[in-house]
Amino acid sequence: MKRILFLVAIVAIFSCKNSKKETADYSEEVLDVSTSIYPENITKVFEAHGGLDKWNTMRNLEFTMQKPNGAEVTTTDLKNRKSLIDMPNHTIGFDGTNVWLKQKDTAQYKGNPKFYYNLMFYFYAMPFILADDGIIYEDVQPLEFEGKSYPGIKISYEAGVGESPEDEYILYYNSQTHQLEWLGYTVTFFSKEKSKEFHFIKYSNWQNIDGLLLPETLTWYDYENNLPTTKRNDLKFTDIKISKEEPSPDIFKLPEDAIVVE
């Protein structure tokens, strides 16, 4: 009997040791945490565009858009989202607290700086911008367009996130490559209420910039019944620069001759 009890004790001791060995220690490993905190389908979209790990190493994003009155250059600090939009007649900046507007001549800025200061950055930085905190993901019905089907992921925000937490997006991706193909979006900045009306952008001409797949062309479409219909206009992005170097903090500071936008 004593022998049996001794053997049981030995087995128990080894079982405990084996259990401890099976507890993995990841303290010395570099892990891709995106697979555990994001749904699988949007993780595959991130990976198709170079991966969140790569994106998160970057600090500075700059691009140029040709507008009817000249070139518009946007610079964004990717870590704190401070931004600067340099236009022929105006400059719009965000210093981390305030949006400011500087006029270079007598021409009045006709838009809303608080609405516009990060608008094109959000559209351009898709899909990576959809990895921000406070996002809720939901699968939706695919988009059917010109004989093709694009699986969809709806994005909404928790209360109090950003300037327009009522905004919603639907990311539609290629089922084979998982690259972003379409973006549906609502506009709630002015109403501060959820909208049932989705606008649509088609993404194309992807280009590899330092290991990240970023768009060259965004195409806006007319829409009806929350579906894209006919092409409206293209917007091309040139002189794309993305780097790990922090942009100069001084460029985002409120100039003495600028006004804070309330």
Residues 122-143, mean pLDDT to the nearest whole number: 94
Whole-number pLDDT of residue 106: 77
Q: Has residue 160 got a pLDDT over 90?
A: no
More confident residue, 51 or 159: 51
CB 164 within 8 A of CB 189: yes
H helical segments located in 132-250: none
Confidence of residue 30 (pLDDT cuts 50, 70, 90): very low
d(CA 82, CA 94): 5
* Pair type for strands 60-67 and 227-243: antiparallel
What tens digit of pLDDT does each residue of 187-242 get?
Answer: 887 666 677 789 999 999 999 999 999 999 999 999 999 999 999 999 999 999 99
Residues 144-158, mean pLDDT to the nearest whole number: 94
Taking the whole predicted model, whether its pTM rises above 0.95 is answered as no
Whole-number pLDDT of residue 158: 78
Residues 37-58, mean pLDDT to the nearest whole number: 96
Helix (H) or strand (E) holding 148: strand 148-157
| Six-digit token string for 49 | 């565009």
Confidence of residue 163 (pLDDT cuts 50, 70, 90): low
Distance in Å from the first CA to the final CA of the chain: 85
Q: Has residue 127 got a pLDDT over 90?
A: yes
Whole-number pLDDT of residue 165: 60
Task: Count CB neighbours of 212 within 10 A.
Answer: 19
| Six-digit token string for 158 | 């928790």
Q: Has residue 26 got a pLDDT over 80?
A: no
Helix (H) or strand (E) holding 171: strand 169-173
